[in-house]
Amino acid sequence: MVPVPDRMKHLPLDRRGYPVPVIVAVKDGVPAFSVNDVDITHRMVAEDRCSICGTKLFRGRWLVGGCLSALACDGVFADAPVHDECVHYALQACPYLAAPNWRTPIGRLQHAQMGLPGLAFDIEKTDPARPEAFIAVMASRIDIESRGFGVVFCRPKEGHVIRAEAWKNGGRLDGGELAAFLDRARLKVEQHSPLRTDIWRALHGEG
């Protein structure tokens, strides 16, 4: 029962009542939430628009991903930037981001059903499975590499990270729960890559 932000109220709703982000692929009137529309995704990036609501982004824009995406030095986020209101609605209401009992495989099955090629994500740079918790990073500049099939790899530019938060099951982590998650995240990341210290400091509330 998370209120839909005014910025998202123009979006169509699915049969459950969830707003459908502008980049979601739709077939026969049914949205496939884990499949991005190629043309719209690239247009949102080219026009500097939010990949959820489709309107112009501001100076500070957000990315969301797992600990490898956010905290590995070579990490990348596999979704395009969004507004503050849009990301925080999604972190609380999106079933994939917020539901504690989510079990549905993401991406490959729906790509096959829609007749689209499957996507292979680099485990060294992104989290291919649903992460234990999600890290949201706000930055004033983001490097974006557009690839085929609607894939974008995004990376907050060093020196331009403004804020970072960790979210799990629709709630923001803090205190001991945040510290415990970050300890586990650091161990996971350091198996693949040196730690990205600017986002690490931002998660701890340090400038």
Q: What percent of the chain has pLDDT over 90?
A: 56
Task: Note whether residue 17 is domain-resident.
Answer: yes
Tell me what pLDDT residue 105 has: 43
Q: What's the domain count of the chain?
A: 1
Q: Are 65 and 165 in contact (CB under 8 A)?
A: no
pLDDT at site 124 = 41
| Amino acid at residue number 72 | A
**pLDDT tens readout for residues 36-76:** 787 888 899 999 999 999 999 999 999 999 999 999 998 99
In this prediction, residue 129 carries a pLDDT of: 62
Average pLDDT over residues 10-26: 89
Residue 98 pLDDT > 50: yes
Record the pTM: 0.84
Q: Please, which pLDDT band fits residue 33 given cuts at 50, 70 and 90?
A: confident
Residue 148 has pLDDT above 80, yes or no: no
Mean pLDDT over the full length of the chain: 83
| 5 Cβ contact list (under 8 Å, min separation 6) | 85, 86, 89
1, part of any domain: no
- The whole domain housing 63 covers 6-203
Residue 154, domain member (yes or no): yes
Amino acid identity for residue 182 in this structure = L
Residue 153 lies in a domain: yes
- Helix/strand/coil for 33: strand
Kindly state the tokens that stand for 32. 């496939």
